[in-house]
Amino acid sequence: MAGQAHYTSAPPSPDAPHGGFRFTAVSPAARPALDVLRPLTGYARPPGPDRDRPFPVAFAYDRPADDAAVLTRTRFTGRDYTGRWGNHFCHALYATPDELAGLRPVELWDTPHWAPAPSPDDRDLPDLGPLVPGSAVGPDRVAHLLADTGDPGVRLLERLLTAALRALVGEGPGATLVSEDPDRAVDWIAAVSYTLPAGLAARLTFTTYTARPGDDHHHLIGTGTKTAERAPGPVFHLDPLTGDGCPGPVPMARFLVGALASGRLDVLDTVAELWDTGPADGVGGDVRRLRAGCALLAPDGDAGAFDGEGPRLVGFVRAVAELRPQEARLAPEHLTDAAACHLADGTTPLGDVGAALAPLPEPYRRAVLAGVLAALEASAALRASALDTRACASLARLADEAPDVLSAAPATALHVLRRAAGEPRPTALRILRLYRRGLWTETETYEALRDLVRPEEPERAPRLLRRRGPARGRE
């Protein structure tokens, strides 16, 4: 169960003989973690003498250890019990990563667990059961944000996601989000979070507000316009949608943001499923798995950028190898669907399919081949663009080695066998074998055989078909 604690400036009590900032209420599960929580309970209020306007609420998420997750909601409360100006109230939730399973931390922005004020006197708080997300943050909120901001918003999110991932793996400082409205920071933290698998989003730390961005340790840091110049890292201005020192987007960010902006949550779900199957090997490994999952599904234009030079099928296989499917116990059908999705809109010739698939062990080689054939079977245009002479020759060999695989793709098999280079007689026998499995009509088979006939043998194809070809569907 998750623990919770209240922290504010309070008068002395029997258990706390000295007044001032202290924990005033603690649950059993949080009590052993007070030393971990204390550094996370501060509040740096905005600069300036204006005391009449409400100060922003700071909602923050931290991972002080691999086995600990802390959420805090801190608001300025004005004067303390002595009349001194500068009090604040922090409500902290202490959980394990398992207790956040399936949640993105930003979804707890308005959870009903948050107390509106500190307990009136020192007492024990109850531990919390399952953490319940609020209703204000979800995919619809992000969809509205991107619809309202249009293409500039999409481009900003691509760069913000790139900066966040770099900070996550320690390759750069946190990204600063600048707005006078902390709700805007929540919008963009949510947008980054929903591009990522929930398990990876749970590693991304953030705060919606601080007046000291230069001293902050989070991956995403919200602040106001008056304090933005103190930020050491890339600065994203959320109201004019501009940035200072922001990195260019990497292909992985373009792919994920593109899926989110176009409403393709199914693509993001597939990336997350592939990510979940990979071996856990630290934050760096988590991001590499994300890149590999994106490469499996990325359109042809981005696949090369993910995986270096080479045909897109080779790049796909490299990405599969990076996922280490045997160790991860990856279900082969995931690769079938991913291969079909990856190749569906491509135009690059496939080349030697057998050689490209050779690095994969079974059953993953056959699973990827099934996805390749499914994509080809669904599109005559893809067959025309992707199946060059080399690819046809490679796939034609499967008519002998694995006819059951080609049987699932009759249009592709017919296209391949009619165009594969080689002697007519062996090719004709392959066509007849597959015809006998019920793949094609007699007319389709006749036309395929006729294409193989030499000009001096105009009558050979009909005789072959009449002598050796049974009716459709017979064995």
Spatial neighbors of 134 by CB under 8 A, at least 6 apart, are 107, 108, 109, 110, 111, 112
Strands 206-207 and 85-95 come out as unpaired
* SS3 assignment for 123-138: EECCCECCCCCCCCCC
CA angle, corner 202, sides to 180 and 240, nearest 5?
25
CA distance 465 to 445: 8
- Ramachandran angles phi, psi of 252, nearest 5°: -60, -45
* HEC per residue, 423-474: CHHHHHHHHHHHHHCCCCCHHHHHHHHHHHCCCCCCCHHHHHHHHHCCCCCC
CA dihedral (90, 91, 95, 101) positive or negative: negative
* Paired tokens of 404: 């059951």
Contact 233, 294 (CB under 8 A): no
Q: Which strands form 123-124's sheet, in the order they lie side by side?
A: 123-124, 20-26, 3-10, 85-95, 68-79, 58-65, 206-207, 220-223, 175-178, 235-237, 242-244
pLDDT tens-digit profile, the chain (475 residues): 999 999 999 998 877 778 899 999 999 999 999 999 999 999 988 887 666 678 999 999 999 998 999 999 999 999 999 999 999 999 999 999 999 999 999 999 999 999 999 987 777 899 999 999 999 999 999 999 999 999 999 999 999 999 999 999 999 899 999 998 889 999 999 999 999 999 999 999 999 999 999 999 999 999 999 898 888 889 999 999 999 999 999 989 999 999 999 998 888 988 898 888 766 778 888 888 888 788 777 754 443 333 333 457 887 888 788 777 887 677 888 888 888 877 876 778 888 998 989 888 889 998 999 999 999 999 999 999 999 888 988 888 876 676 677 777 888 888 887 787 666 667 777 777 777 877 778 887 777 777 766 444 444 444 444 444 444 443 3
Counting Cα atoms < 13 Å in the Cβ hemisphere of 355 gives: 9
CATH class of 139-252: alpha beta
Residue 94, both tokens = 């202490």
Residues 6+ apart with CB under 8 A from 425: none
Residue range 366-421, pLDDT digits in tens = 899 999 999 999 999 999 999 988 898 888 887 667 667 777 788 888 888 778 76
Helices (H) and strands (E) in the chain, counts: 21, 11
- State residue 458's pLDDT score: 47
Summarize the chain as % helix, strand, coil (round to 5).
50, 15, 35
Task: Please give the Cα distance from 270 to 257 (Å, whole number).
Answer: 14
Where in the chain is CATH 3.40.50?
Answer: 139-252
C-alpha–C-alpha distance, residues 283 and 196, integer Å: 13
The per-residue pLDDT for range 348-362, each reduced to its tens digit, is: 888 899 898 988 888
The tokens describing 466, both together, are 């009449």
